[in-house]
Every structure is written in C-alpha cells, then in structure tokens.
C-alpha cells in the first residue's frame, strides 16, 4: 500500500472536481483528484452547453477562459415557441445587460483538463474501489489503480463524484435528508454538424410535447425532444427524429431547419434532487453529488460552478486566513442558491412539457400562465433573471501568501 498526504482529496473529475482543483492550485493549496473513469472517457462526455455570466466569470478567475473567449457564443435572448408562435425573451434588456454564453460542458471539461496537465497536477484516473473514511475526524481515501493500493490522508474530502458517486452514499443515513422528484418522461438529444435553425435557442411548448433547439457553434446543433421514458434510443432513427422535431416547430423554423446525420444520440431521464446538508464534518458534497436539476433551465453545470465558488473560497480562507467561517457557512450558502435554481428548473419543466396525467383544466391553466409570462414585462423579467443566473459573489484572492 502506498500512502500519500495532501490537503484536499477531490473525488471525481467532472467539471466540479476539475474546477475546484484549478482554483485550489491557483491559491497554492495542495490537492489530488481521484477519478474512476479514464481521462478519454471524461473528456468525451456530451452534456449541456449554456454558461451563466457568473460561471464565465469564475472560469476567468480560474484562468481557463482562453478558448471560451474565442469560441463561446454570447446570447442575449431566447425564443419561446407556443401555440405555433415564437416570442423572444430579451435577456439582456430585462437584466441590465446580462447574457449567457453557449459553450459546451465538454469544452469546459477539456479546457480544465488541459490546464491541469500543463500545471502537472496529480490525478489518478481509472481508480477502482474508491472509498472515503473517517470524515468526521481524520479523513482518508483508499483506492486501487493498476493493482497498486493507495491510501491518501487529507484534511478534507471534496465529493465531486456526481449523482452515482461514493461520497453521498458514505454518509450515515441519520445525518442526511434527500428531496426528490422524478418526471414521467425523458429528453432524447442529438448532436449534428448542421447549422442551427436559429441564432438563438428555441424552447418549444407544443401539443406533441416539449422540444429544444440549441447549438454548440455556428456549424454544430443540439436538438432535444420530450419522449416517453419507455422509448429506447434504437427506436429513433435520425429520420424519425427530424420528422418529429419538424412536427413540433412553427412553419418558419420548419423551413429553416437543416437536417443531417447525428453524431451522438441519447435519452436522459429528468430528475429534481437535493441533499441536505452539503457538509458532513470534513466531507463536502458539490455539484451533481449533492443535487440534480432537470435540464430545462440549463442550470446543472452552473450550480456545480457556484458550489465550487463557495467551496474554493471557504478552503482558501481556511488555509490562508485561518478562518473556518466559509466552511461553517458552506452548506447553507449553497443550498439557498440550489433551491432557487431547483424551483426555476422545475417550473420551466412544468410549464413547457406535456404531462400525461394533466387534465384539460391543468392544460388551460398552464397555457394561461405562459401567456401571462410572455405578455408581461414582470413575467418575462422573472424568467430572464433566473435564466441568466442569480447573482453571487466571487471572492477574489489576489497576491495570496503560500498556504501553510
């Protein structure tokens, strides 16, 4: 058994773990990442692609915004298509100039991995049988890699290991409460090298169900369809997908839609899920390990980023300023923002999807709510300020002394 020591052991190298690693590195705080999959697998995962302004600011603070500045597409509005008509929500006009940036999570992950390689930081990929121990007293992590057993002794463990990870599962049942809502449909998504149907994203509410026209660049599109959970991806040929998408669009978009072979196709279930609290002694949960949102408001990655903003500044304050304040407040601060994003994602999902169980009355009420939102500046502002991201403070730590 090889025994290593570090300050922070980060479990998982998704966007949450990688971003935490990068911010700790910039502050001179030693850490190690332990990831169960291979680097190639992590870099290839296709996920959502909308960054709030605050997430862009955080990536800048982490020093990984070079590609983002070059290839990210700033968006100032979104379209909502309902009753066959498109309505533009002018995000920037409604939020004093804020915007979102279209930039794939896959790219964010690659940028962070590249920065990590350049700084020669330690990551154990393909770690097997990862276990966390004694996090209420003297934490350590054990795992195996290439038949070698490791033990990493640390001050803190950051559980950035996603929804199916080992960290949340290791917390004693009587110390944790979870809240969950599962939706009775999934999103069938495809990626295709065709120009997007429109300059801005179109969220579609139709009698045939929800659809979303999104993009990764001016030549790569990402489209989604609401489908029954019982559907299997093999049942959806590209032709069938495009046909159904057309059926949910308005005449103009149908005409402008450029179709082509898919380069990725998958079905994802929708879920709302929150864990309380988000700290257990010396163990922190962050990102999908602590909460899941349905993708309708594009909040998943952005929430992971705000957790990491709070966690990195808590750890920096602890090591550099000898203050435990950020650590004590971590869970409460995160959860305040998490629940607001949960509410928004749930609301967008509810408003735009077809639910089999909804009565004619429910449907009419929903249509009236949409009509109200779209017809009122107050209603549109509610949507816009949540969509661009609720503000939080990114603490700047300049000219940091070396962590002790």
Binding residues for ligand PHB, rule: CB under 6 A, are 48-50, 201, 212, 214, 222, 295-298
From 185-193, 197-205, 283-291, 370-378, span contacting ligand APR (CB under 6 A): 283-291
The DSSP secondary structure of 261-320, one letter per residue, reads -EEEEEEEEEEEEEEE-SEETTEEE-GGGTEE--GGG--HHHHHHHHHHHHHHHHHHHHH
Please list the residues that pair with 227 across neighbouring strands: 186
List, in sequence order, every beta strand (DSSP E) within 21-92. Answer: 31-34, 50-52, 73-75, 78-82, 85-89
Terminus-to-terminus CA distance in the chain, angstroms? Answer: 27
Report the partner that residue 14 touches, choosing among ligand APR, ligand PHB, none (CB closer than 5 to 8 A by kind).
ligand APR
Residues 24-63 that bind ligand APR (CB under 6 A): 34-37, 42, 47-48
Indicate which single residue of 8, 12, 123, 135 sits in contact with ligand APR (rule: CB under 6 A). 12
If you ran DSSP here, which 8-state letter would residue 189 be given?
E
Catalytic residue among 15, 295, 353, 366: 295
Q: Which two tokens stand for residue 273?
A: 């899920």
Q: Which two tokens stand for residue 263?
A: 């380069």
Nearer to ligand PHB, 59 or 215 (CB): 215
Nearer to ligand PHB, 387 or 392 (CB): 387
Among this protein's residues, is 203 annotated catalytic?
Answer: yes
Report the partner that residue 158 touches, choosing among ligand APR, ligand PHB, none (CB closer than 5 to 8 A by kind).
none
Q: Which two tokens stand for residue 343?
A: 């509410």
The DSSP secondary structure of 116-150, one letter per residue, reads HHHTT--EE-S-EEEEEE-TTSS-EEEEEETTEEE
Phi, psi (deg, nearest 5) at residue 293: -120, 150
Please list the residues that pair with 151 across neighbouring strands: 3, 142
Sign of CA dihedral 108, 114, 115, 121: positive
348 scored as a contact of ligand APR (CB under 6 A): no
Burial of residue 324 (number of CB atoms within 10 Å: 0-12, 13-18, 19+): exposed
225 scored as a contact of ligand APR (CB under 6 A): no
288 scored as a contact of ligand APR (CB under 6 A): yes
Strand 148-153 vs strand 128-133: parallel, antiparallel, or unpaired? unpaired
Nearer to ligand APR, 109 or 206 (CB): 109
Among this protein's residues, is 299 annotated catalytic?
Answer: yes
196 scored as a contact of ligand APR (CB under 6 A): no
Indicate which single residue of 9, 14, 26, 49 sits in contact with ligand APR (rule: CB under 6 A). 14
Nearer to ligand PHB, 102 or 171 (CB): 102
Nearer to ligand PHB, 206 or 296 (CB): 296
Catalytic residue among 150, 330, 387, 392: 387
Catalytic residue among 103, 203, 310, 318: 203
Report the partner that residue 200 touches, choosing among ligand PHB, ligand APR, none (CB closer than 5 to 8 A by kind).
none
Among this protein's residues, is 295 annotated catalytic?
Answer: yes
Footprint of ligand APR (CB under 6 A): 11-17, 34-37, 42, 47-48, 105, 127, 130, 160-162, 164-166, 287-289, 300-301, 304
Catalytic center residues = 75, 203, 295, 299, 387
């Amino acid at each position: 058994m090889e025994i290593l020591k570090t300050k922070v052991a980060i479990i998982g190298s998704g966007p949450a773990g990688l971003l935490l690693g990068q911010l700790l590195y910039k502050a001179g705080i030693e850490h190690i990442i332990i990831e169960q999959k291979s680097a190639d697998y992590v870099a290839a995962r296709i996920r959502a692609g909308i960054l709030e302004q605050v997430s862009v600011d955080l990536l800048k603070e982490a020093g990984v915004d070079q590609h983002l500045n070059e290839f990210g597409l700033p968006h100032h509005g979104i379209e909502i298509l309902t009753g066959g008509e498109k309505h533009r929500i002018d995000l920037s006009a409604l939020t004093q100039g804020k915007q979102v940036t279209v930039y794939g999570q896959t790219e964010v992950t690659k940028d962070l991995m590249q920065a990590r390689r350049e700084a020669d930081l330690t990551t154990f990929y393909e770690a097997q049988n990862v276990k966390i121990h004694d996090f209420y007293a003297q934490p350590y992590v054990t795992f195996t890699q290439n038949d070698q057993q490791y033990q990493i002794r640390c001050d803190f463990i950051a559980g950035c290991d996603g929804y199916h990870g080992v960290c949340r599962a290791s917390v004693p049942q009587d110390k944790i409460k979870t809240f969950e809502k599962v939706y009775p449909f999934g999103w069938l998504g495809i990626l295709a090298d065709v120009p997007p149907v429109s300059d801005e994203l179109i969220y579609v509410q139709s009698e045939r169900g929800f659809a979303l026209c999104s993009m990764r660049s001016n030549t790569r599109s990402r489209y989604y369809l609401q489908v029954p959970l019982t559907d299997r991806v093999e049942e959806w040929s590209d032709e069938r997908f495009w046909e159904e998408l057309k059926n949910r669009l308005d005449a103009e978009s149908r005409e402008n839609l450029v179709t082509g072979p898919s380069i990725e196709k998958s079905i994802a279930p929708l879920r709302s899920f929150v864990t309380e609290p988000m700290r257990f002694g010396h163990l922190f949960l962050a990102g999908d390990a602590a909460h899941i949102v349905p993708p309708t408001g594009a909040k998943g990655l952005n929430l992971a980023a705000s957790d990491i903003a709070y966690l990195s500044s808590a750890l920096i304050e602890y090591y550099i300023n000898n203050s435990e304040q950020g650590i004590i407040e971590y869970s409460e601060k995160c959860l305040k923002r998490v629940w607001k994003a949960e509410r928004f994602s749930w609301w967008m999902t509810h408003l735009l999807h077809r639910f089999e169980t909804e009565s004619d009355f429910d449907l009419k009420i929903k249509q009236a709510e949409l009509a109200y939102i779209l017809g009122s500046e107050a209603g549109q502002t509610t949507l816009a300020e949540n969509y661009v991201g609720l503000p939080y403070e990114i603490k700047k730590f300049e000219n940091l002394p070396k962590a002790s």
